[in-house]
Amino acid sequence: MPNLELKKAREFGEIINDTFLFIRQNFKPLLKVFAYLCGFFILAGMIAGIIQQLEMETTLNGLKQGKASWQTTMATLFTFNYLLVAILSFCSSAAILVSTLSFIALYIQKGNVAPTPDEVWGYFKYYYFRVFFSNIIVILFVSLGFLFCLLPGIYLFPAMSLLLSMMVLENTNFQYAFNRSFKLLKNQWWVTAGAVLIIWVIAYACMSFAAIPTLVLKMGGAFFPGIEGWSKMFTIIGVALQYLSYVFMMIPVIGVSLCYFNLVEIQESTGLMDRINQFGEEKDHFSGLEEY
């Protein structure tokens, strides 16, 4: 089977199917990019998360035994380590976004060939902070939309998802991507929103599935006293699995990118024009960042 062509129009079901086809065809290269470029943030977040969860468990046990008040408990829970976990979560999500989108951009430039981690690193360091701060703005914007009557948040979610993809795939700024995302969604909001929603549900289901073994062990501690003494070990395993499951966040990034290519192809037929222009010509497999 030839490698997947990304820049083409797709039906609703094709977006979902091709998301997983792309992952299957590029599984090892994608996993390498995740390990090389996101590994540091995942590991740092995992360590901070384990410490924070163990602190929380100790504090809550003290509350149950009457050794601490609610006021003391709340003050203990929201510590510097809690803030560090939140910051590292933002760093990890930005790293996954940028590394996956950079992989896709290079995949297209190389003629549907998976890039190496070294090639992706060139794009990663160029886009990381731009996407990091834009991601914070997007999360705040969508959160405010959900806060005000829920419907604005639902309406904004597909556009804001496209925005972050566009910033890397088109090498553009936040303002341009913001305006263009709404233009691309014109008359295609329902199809795009449905595809994005289903892809996110699948990703979250995969991430939740990773937490089931720890949950089962913790519940078993209530029925088997011997297991209860392993509570801290279960907490460590649970946090580790939670952070390792971040790899599934690549799924919605790829899915949203296919939604973007679908919208662009419907309105502008850029993929078709590229194939026409390349007909009979030798493909330039990698042009590097000099184009930027």
Q: Which two tokens stand for residue 275?
A: 């194939």
174-195 pLDDT tens trace: 999 999 999 999 888 999 999 9
290: pLDDT confidence band, cut at 50, 70 and 90?
very low
41, pLDDT greater than 50: yes
| Cα first-last separation, the chain | 32
Mean pLDDT rounded to a whole number for the chain = 83
18-27 per-residue burial string, b: 16 or more CB within 10 A, e: under 16: bbeebbebbe
Q: Which two tokens stand for residue 192?
A: 């795009």
Query: H or E stretch including 19?
Result: helix 12-25
CA separation, residue 61 to residues 8, 56, 57, 73, 231 (Å): 56, 9, 6, 10, 12
Quote the CA–CA distance of 259 and 72 in Å, as a whole number. Answer: 48
Q: How many domains are there within the chain?
A: 1
Quote the CA–CA distance of 251 and 207 in Å, as a whole number. Answer: 11
Q: Is residue 124 included in any domain, yes or no? A: yes
67, pLDDT greater than 70: no
Quote the CA–CA distance of 14 and 5 in Å, as a whole number. Answer: 12
76: pLDDT confidence band, cut at 50, 70 and 90?
low
Looking at residues 256-266, what average pLDDT do you find?
93
143-167 pLDDT tens trace: 888 887 777 778 888 999 899 999 9
Reference 203, options 163, 251, 140, 167; nearest CA is 251
Q: Is residue 289 included in any domain, yes or no? A: no
Helix or strand or coil: residue 65? coil
pLDDT at 186 (0 to 100): 86
Q: Is residue 90 included in any domain, yes or no? A: yes
Looking at residues 209-219, what average pLDDT do you find?
72
286, pLDDT greater than 50: no
pLDDT at 211 (0 to 100): 74
pLDDT > 70 in the chain, percent: 79
| Structural domain boundaries enclosing 230 | 12-279
Q: Is residue 231 included in any domain, yes or no? A: yes
> Residues 121, 284: contact at Cβ < 8 Å?
no
Q: Is residue 246 included in any domain, yes or no? A: yes
Reference 120, options 139, 136, 101; nearest CA is 101
> Residues 142, 159: contact at Cβ < 8 Å?
no
Q: Is residue 2 included in any domain, yes or no? A: no
109: pLDDT confidence band, cut at 50, 70 and 90?
very high
2-12 pLDDT tens trace: 889 998 888 88
Q: Is residue 288 included in any domain, yes or no? A: no
Q: Which two tokens stand for residue 108?
A: 């297209």
Q: Is residue 170 included in any domain, yes or no? A: yes
